[in-house]
Amino acid sequence: MEDLSALSVSKMALIETERLLIRPITQDDLSWLVEMRSAPAVNRYMGGPAMQNADRLAERMKFYLSSNEKFGFGFSVMSLKSNGDRIGTSGLVPLADTGEIEIGYNLSEKYWRQGFGYECAMAWLRFGFETAGLERIVAVAHPENIGSWRIMEKCGMRFEKTGRHYEMDVVYYGISREEFLGQNSNL
């Protein structure tokens, strides 16, 4: 493994943070993903049951797998280092119809407000800029998902506009490689 300060990344895009192991999602994770995202609190800002159901997630899984194959990164499973429990998903994927790479993250409700969203987001931003060589990363969130856009802001991302993605209105944030590395040169 290569050491990138508090973050290490293997050639398979496995990311390790202080508390998390982040590995590429596999087809075997589909039933767990459906179960996790079926919870109303989890899917509330992700299009609800209309977007987070077995059929839609089976289709989305194809996108997740192809992103990992095509880019060497994509949506991944986050597990606790302490016990291996899967707690959510996160990653970098193409944002439809924009040509940009989006960072995304979601957690099972019992893991909210424990800093895992920020921890994984910072790990993915560092991976995107330092390992994948991306020049810019964006993020979108439902306008009422204050927790999500607060994570974006804490990571140094800036609000740019509102828009429509994933069949819903969203707030749209972005950060450049130069901005991120300048803000985090001491990490």
pLDDT band for position 166 (cuts 50, 70, 90): confident
63-120 pLDDT per residue, tens: 889 888 888 889 999 999 999 999 999 999 998 878 899 999 999 999 999 999 999 9
Instruction: Identify whether the C-beta of residue 131 lies closer than 8 Å to the C-beta of residue 4.
Output: yes
CA distance 84 to 80: 5
Question: What is the model's pLDDT at position 55?
Answer: 87
- Inform me whether the pLDDT recorded for 46 exceeds 80: no
Q: Is the pLDDT of residue 4 over 60?
A: no
What the chain holds in terms of domains, given with CATH numbers, is 2-183 (3.40.630.30)
pTM for the whole structure: 0.87
Contact criterion met (CB below 8 Å) for 81 and 119: no
Q: What is the DSSP letter of 96?
A: T
Q: Give the mean pLDDT of 133-140.
A: 96
Token representation of residue 82: 């302490």
